[in-house]
Amino acid sequence: MKIDVNEKPVELDEKSNIEQLLILLDSPLKGSAIAVNQKIITRSEWASYQLKENDQVSLFQAIAGG
């Protein structure tokens, strides 16, 4: 299945969830924020949120600074 992550195509197995996507992308589970099709998905939903073909995923990393 194909999705876009930050406007770049990514190929995933069918029935992949957000946690699996972050592991595939080697992104940290802590300090990340995710939106799917412009809807924020809370951390508690990541393991159960099933991604679908053509989903548009926005991945943000929290950074410290000022």
Q: What is the pLDDT of residue 66?
A: 56
pLDDT tens figures, 13-48: 999 999 999 999 998 888 889 999 999 999 999 999
How would DSSP label each residue in 4-36? EETTEEEE--TT-BHHHHHHHTT--STTEEEEE
* One-letter amino acid of 15: K
Query: Does the pTM exceed 0.95?
Result: no
DSSP 36: E
Confidence of residue 3 (pLDDT cuts 50, 70, 90): very high
Distance of CA 23 to the CA centre of its chain: 10
With 0-12 CB in 10 A as exposed, 13-18 as middle and 19+ as buried, what is 58?
Answer: middle
Confidence of residue 65 (pLDDT cuts 50, 70, 90): low
Q: What's the Rg (C-alpha) of the chain?
A: 11
Q: Please determine, for residue 57, whether its predicted confidence score (pLDDT) is greater than 60.
A: yes
